Amino acid sequence: MEQKENCIKTVNDLALDACNYWPTELSEEAAETSTLMPLLETQDIFLSILKVADKTPYIWKDIVRSNSKLSANLFLKHLMVLSDIGGERLQRFSKDFDKLFPSSELHFEFCGESFIHKFHTSSGKVNWTNKKLRVEKSVLLENREDFTESMLDVCMLLLWGSEAKNSSILPDEILEKCVIGSLIGKPEELDKYVKERYLYVSRQTGGSEANDLGYACERFAKKKLLSYLPENYSANGHTLENVTQNSNNLTKFDLVITNSKTKKSIGIEISFQVTTNSVIERKAQNALNRQELAHKYGHKVAYLIDGSGNFQRKNAIQTILNYSDCTVNFSDIGLQRLAKYIEENI
């Protein structure tokens, strides 16, 4: 029988023992201090390039080539940090490339005109690893003057992803985070966005790879939850067991935990936002449909929500609470509560 006594039902209850700001253990999971300094040192150069790159969607590439103070791979690393999409996420996108970009093209708009970027897939495979993109710590400071095909493809995605026309099949992350291109031609907005992002990064995480905040949260939650659960529970993949329907990505979750004995799963959506943004609103919009689809196949849906930015969006969080089987925050108590719910119901 389903246990509900551990499930939070109001925003105030969820915020009661929440972390609000990244706890030490989660910060350590994300931090890589050694790559942040060169990015902060070249922040103004990066900004100056984008501020004059308003003629065509590709003109930034020529400016970087002619600039001796900012290498091609540092430029790419800036985009990865500012969009909060790191190497782990890019690897996932490359694995799902054929589904996300069936025509191997990115159709987007710039200054009211339509453009098409043709991805370089002549080898039949897309490989967007840190090593392939030349953004590993060991090579980040190399004086690379030009972009490889893979580097160029990823730059275009990170710049123009939010302007993509095939938005219905792209992950929320691309639509919500790949916004830098949309700020080109708006120097004041661009300046504000870049400086606020780096201020946030340096204060909250202490490292560039920690910019992949979402993935760090997933890793942290996965490790914690599995440590509380018996061995018949596992977290592999991002889809619910035996669910093949793929309606608007409603079957894809940040984390899925499955019981090998019952073949039941729980899809977990995760959001830890110190600064407010619209990602939590999108999760709220999908909450009812996600839950209905999961329940249809005998599965459950849970949410891990924390961060002072999220708690400013009370209506969105309340909607999630209404259509969630279990919602908790990132505190130890919250994670233990979720693990208990999983063990009793999955």
Cα gap 90→178, rounded to integer Å: 12
Helix (H) or strand (E) holding 301, with range, is strand 300-306
What pLDDT is recorded for position 236?
86
State yes or no: pLDDT of 224 exceeds 80.
Answer: yes
Under the banding of pLDDT at 50, 70 and 90, the label for residue 122 is low
Q: Calculate what percentage of the chain has a pLDDT beyond 90.
A: 49
Cα gap 32→209, rounded to integer Å: 6
Under the banding of pLDDT at 50, 70 and 90, the label for residue 29 is low
State yes or no: pLDDT of 338 exceeds 70.
Answer: yes
What pLDDT is recorded for position 108?
94
What pLDDT is recorded for position 211?
42
State yes or no: pLDDT of 203 exceeds 80.
Answer: no
Domain locations along the chain: 11-21+207-344, 54-184
What pLDDT is recorded for position 199?
73
Under the banding of pLDDT at 50, 70 and 90, the label for residue 277 is low
Q: To the nearest whole number, what is the mean pLDDT of the chain? A: 85
What pLDDT is recorded for position 298?
93
Query: What would the pLDDT profile of 136-153 be if each residue is shown by its tens digit?
Result: 876 776 767 789 999 999
Cα gap 23→247, rounded to integer Å: 35
| 259/36: higher pLDDT | 259
Give the tokens for residue 112. Answer: 């009211």
Cα gap 74→80, rounded to integer Å: 10
State yes or no: pLDDT of 212 exceeds 60.
Answer: no
Q: How far is CA 262 from the centre of its chain?
A: 30
What pLDDT is recorded for position 105?
92
State yes or no: pLDDT of 306 exceeds 70.
Answer: yes
Under the banding of pLDDT at 50, 70 and 90, the label for residue 169 is confident
What pLDDT is recorded for position 58?
92
What is the Cβ-side half-sphere exposure of residue 90, based on CA atoms within 13 angstroms?
30
What architecture (CATH level 2) is domain 11-21+207-344? 3-Layer(aba) Sandwich (3.40)
What pLDDT is recorded for position 245?
57
Closest-CA residue to 294 (of 252, 342, 328, 336): 252
Under the banding of pLDDT at 50, 70 and 90, the label for residue 213 is low
Mean pLDDT check: name the lowest of 65-69, 136-140, 191-195: 136-140
Residue written as token pair 């969105």: 316
Give the tokens for residue 280. Answer: 């939590």
